[in-house]
Structure 1
Amino acid sequence: MTTLVPEKPDSLAPDGPAAGARTRTARPIAAILAAVGIPTFMVSLDNLVVSTALPVIRTELHASIADLQWFVNAYTLPFAAFLLTAAAFGDRIGRRRMFIAGIVVFTLASAAAALSTEAWQLTAARAVQGLGGAAITPLALTLLARAVPPQMRNAAVGIWGGITGLGVAVGPVVGGAVVNGLHWSWIFWLNVPVGVIAVILATTVLDESRGDGRKLDPIGLVLSAGGMLLLIWGVVDGPDRGWTSGRVPVMLVTAVVMLAGFLFWQSRNSSPMLPLRLFRNRGFSLVNAVTLTFSAGAFGSVFLLAQFFQVVQGLSPLQSGLRTLPWTAAPMLVAPLAGLFASRIGQRNLIVAGQAFLAAGLLWVGLTLSVTVSYTSLIGAFVLAGIGMGLTFAPVSTMVLASVDPAEHGVASGTNNTIREFGVAAGVAALSSIFSSLGGFSSFDSFLDGTRPAVLTGAAILAVGAVIALWLPRRA
């Protein structure tokens, strides 16, 4: 088994110019990948595991379409809002310590979600899950990047991307299988034993490390979290409450003011939670723009397509999950290969191809969907979209890390994950708003009237991302 080369003392020294002066206990790379990969798998699984269970949850909890959106957004909003803060806490108190705390919070919140009997209880539990996930994802990538030698980083990040892809792949299937065979609450109970194993692995395998000791930014946290919350809330409520009167325009205007204030404060703060100077690097700036379009277009569409087979074609949750497998399983296979061959093919080329494939796959789906569409007519589109997702995960993560100094890996990873999760929340909210404005659940035709234009909008967003990716540097 390949092991890591020990470095010099001290293991708690900050990363950066003095990073060589620390001890790193030799660990098998497989053990390190398991320690950071299992929690990441758990978090990525919960992005989509709820999707195939939504129709059942909607019936049992008497939930509205807005409730369904909040079951997703209540998870992604805190996730996005606190990623940078969690990374900053990890830099100060210890990344492994913060990582383990995130796993514990996520596991306990999963148990609370499983015990929910009202829609608001599930929404609240999902929000706490998001807080735990915010401490897991960025620190997992930072701990992995620090633990493996530079020459193995592309391959390790590719495998980590494949683990993320596995979570995406089995999410709809696990959700469908659990709902079919047990009860929807078991999609959350499954996280409990996984969380316990993850804590044990992280405690015994990962070494502690700290960053450069930046101060926390409470004003930035309030402005960014409040602005994103009001923005997504306004988009979710727009179709039902109206865009020009009542609280919706107030929320949207307030959100814009708060986000503008956040950017202004970051430019003036000596210890910002989001250092704007990072965006002077063309690769970092553009790869984050691609991340935004990718997450908004792809995951916003998945939210609706996961329900198509149940609502329109009357299939069970498990049958629906299995039918999305050609899409969701492909990243598990493609992402590790993309990591292995990124240096030869070029990260930019892989990202461009990934966004183009995704856009083409969703365009195919949007133009093909009908009440009587055969599954075989959609397989090619799902495979194309899945390959596109697989070509995106690892190269984007690698380019983010390669665009900054090692001392800034934590904040860079946190920034990219913040933008990604904000894109997920914004995409679900925006495409669901299109769905609600043009269709609904009243009939099969009404569902399709809303789904088709929403999916085509997702394809257009991804096409924009493909164009942006053309301007990425050949080398970060």
Structure 2
Amino acid sequence: MSTPSSAPAIPRTAVVTALALVVGGLAVIFDSTIVSIALKTLATDLDVSVGTIQWVSTAYLLALGVTIPVVGWAQSRIGGKRLWMIALTVFLAASIACSLAWDAPSLIAFRVLQGVGGGLMMPLMATLAIQQVPRGASFGRLMALVSLPAALGPILGPTIGGVILNWLDWHWLFWVNVPFCAIGLLLAWKFVPHDEPSGRARLDLVGLLLASPGVVGVLYGMSRVSEPGGFGRLDVWLPALVGLVLLGLFAWRSSRRPATALIDVGLLRLRPVASSSAVLFLSGAALYGSMLLLPLFFQLLHGVDVLTAGLLMIPQGVGALLSRTLAGKLTDTIGARAVAIGGFVVMGLATIPFALADATTNLWWLMAVLLVRGLGTGAVMIPVMAVAYVGLEREQVPHASLITRLAQQLGGAFGTALLAVILQWAVGSSTSLGALADGFDVAFWWAVGFTVVAIGVCLTLPARPRQPADAPAGAAGAAGAAVKA
């Protein structure tokens, strides 16, 4: 049996494919995080309430939820490269339309179209890159590239948005996507290998009618938690409950007919896929939940504007960039479990200073802490995403991408909603700096708690990914080895 050190090298084709896909993927991730800090500006400029303009983000999120479950089927029908370019073209056209929107309803409608394009692209990016990897290869270095947009988007997006809103108007929030999309289309056309459709023509319509509304129900419910009443609101718990029931029915039905299922949930019986999905749920909660807290912490407690809050977040992005290459190499050599645990430990320890901070805490100290936190954040996703594909056959890769993407998406929605409610509960009706500081302290301690739970779940990750050297990656024996590792 081979070890990671003797595994074949990642081919140049896979690396070039990943780089070409990352350019387009950056547009999707940056767009969602850039817009999140511009809602107040959009409400003012378009002369609507904050509740109305919130649908600019909510509609995009729900369109993602509707679209993601069909990616595997669509790829089998028209081929991965063709689907990627269609989705990127849709996102490009929608971005231009958003920049030309004349009122709030038109902007919301165009954001739905953006969500459709983005929902197709995000799971497909990992799938197309992983499918270029030969038998027995390790995925760590490749995932360091593929996961780059997901890691940097929540960190650098608010910074870019703050810069744009400081010197330009809101229309440029969407024009910034255009060069990413245009260059991404050119690179995809030239460098992403052409793949033929697999011929799986039938759409699991019943599965679609269960999965997409189920995901939408959960995401919609979580998006309403920040409103007064929190989890007790009817428009929070009812759609979330209905969504969970629909997803449960989908999982039960799909497990009984894996060959025709929209998403093969039977892959969750494999330890790497199951443990990776659980950790990605928690990492999504910790990462996106903290992305809600950190800009608000700087703006409300330290009185900085949107631009300054965005600039204060830059050290975290720098830290994430610095740790990625090393994390990829370590994943391939010592295994996913140790790297993921180390990343969460660093991430949790670097969140504690914010749980102890107040309005007088030195900003330079907090920026240094964010640099360290970024090191942990950048290291977490790579091993967790890489291990999900160990031992899978080529046709199973799209399903694993969908499962892990949905886990991270739902985790992010849950973490953001929970921390928003905790912050509101801790602050109460008081507007004093002391009450705000106490509220943020409680919320950040909960964020630390997410990382502690994630460390415990990381113990279920395979210690060292292994695949037989004499069998194709994804053969039954490889899957067995991955489960036992």
TM-score range, shorter chain: 0.7 to 0.9
5 Å matches for 1:72-221? 72-116=57-101, 118-149=103-134, 151=137, 153-162=139-148, 164-209=150-195, 210-211=197-198, 213=200, 215-221=202-208
Q: Distance in 2 between matches of 1:304 and 1:120?
A: 29
Give me the whole-angstrom Cα distance separating, in 2, the residues matched to 1:443 and 1:119: 30
User: What letter matches 1:395 in structure 2?
Assistant: P
Greater CA deviation, 405-414 or 114-123?
114-123
Unaligned 5+ runs, structure 2: 1-10, 466-481
Does the Cα contact within 8 Å between 1:355 and 1:462 map onto a contact in 2? yes
Q: Give the 5 Å matches for 1:306-321.
A: 306-321=295-310
Does 2:216 match 1:229? Answer: yes
Residue in 2 that maps onto 1:404: 392
Percent of residue pairs bearing the same amino acid type: 28
1:394-439, CA deviations, whole angstroms, 9 ceiling, x for partnerless residues? 2122111114222211111121112111222222223223334444
Give the corresponding residue for 1:11.
none
The corresponding residue for 1:391 is 379
Does residue 1:331 correspond to 2:325, yes or no? Answer: no
**How much does 1:130 deviate?**
2.1
Q: How far apart, CA to CA, are the structure 1 residues paired with 2:65 and 2:236?
A: 21
Which runs of 5 or more structure 1 residues have no equivalent in the other structure? Answer: 1-25
Q: RMSD across aligned C-alpha pairs, in angstroms?
A: 2.9
Residues 47, 312 of structure 1: alpha-carbon distance in 2 compared, 3 angstrom cutoff: same
Match of residue 341, structure 2, among 352, 355, 358: 352
CA distance in structure 2 between the aligned counterparts of 1:78 and 1:128, rounded to whole angstroms: 8
By how many angstroms is 1:254 displaced? 2.2
Q: Distance in 2 between matches of 1:281 and 1:386?
A: 30
Q: Residues of 2 paired with 1:416 and 1:70: CA distance? A: 26
Q: Specify the SS of the correspondent of 1:136.
A: helix
1:373 is matched with which residue?
A: 361
Match of residue 473 from structure 2 = none
Task: Write the deviation string for residues 116-136 of structure 1: whole angstroms up to 9, x where unpaired.
Answer: 455554444333322211221
Report if aligned partners of 1:76, 1:424 keep a CA contact under 8 Å in 2: no
Question: Which position in structure 2 is the counterpart of 1:382?
Answer: 370
In the alignment, is the contact (CA less than 8 A) between 1:329 and 1:386 conserved in 2?
A: yes
Moved more, 407-416 or 138-147: 138-147
Relative to 1, partners in 2 of residues 1:417 and 1:248: Cα closer, same or farther, differing over 3 Å? closer
Q: Is the 8 A contact 1:165 1:329 kept in 2?
A: no
8 Å CA contact retained: 1:90, 1:98: yes
- Indicate if the aligned counterparts of 2:40 and 2:50 stay in contact, CA closer than 8 A: no
Rounded to whole Å, the distance in 2 between the matches of 1:61 and 1:452 is 35
Give the match's secondary structure for 2:362.
coil
CA shift, 1:245, in A, is 6.7
SS of equivalent to 1:329:
helix
For 1:39-54, list aligned pairs within 5 A. Answer: 39-54=24-39
Q: Distance in 2 between matches of 1:455 and 1:318?
A: 22
CA distance in 2, matches of 1:42, 1:245: 34
Note if contact 1:362-1:458 (Cα within 8 Å) is conserved in structure 2: yes
After superposition, the Cα gap between the structure-2 partners of 1:375 and 1:336, relative to the gap in structure 1 and judged at 3 Å, is same
- Conservation of the 8 A alpha-carbon contact between 2:272 and 2:389: no
Listed one character per residue, the Cα deviations across residues 435-456 of structure 1 (whole Å, up to 9, x for unaligned) are 3444489846365455443332
- CA 1:185–1:438 in 2, change beyond 3 Å: closer, same or farther? farther
- Is the 8 Å Cα contact of residues 348 and 469 (structure 1) preserved in structure 2? yes
- Aligned match of 2:446: 457
Distance 1:172 1:244 in 2: 30
Q: In structure 2, what residue type is equivalent to 1:425?
A: A
Cα distance, 1:242–1:166 mapped onto 2, change above 3 Å: closer
**Is 1:35 aligned to residue 20 of structure 2?**
yes
Alpha-carbon distance in structure 1 between the residues aligned to 2:428 and 2:175 = 31
Q: CA deviation at 1:277?
A: 1.6
Rate the CA distance shift 1:371–1:69 in 2: closer, same or farther, 3 A: farther
Q: Structure 1 residues 70 and 469, CA, compared in 2 at 3 Å: closer, same or farther?
A: farther
Could you tell me whether the CA contact under 8 Å between 2:26 and 2:180 is conserved in 1?
A: no
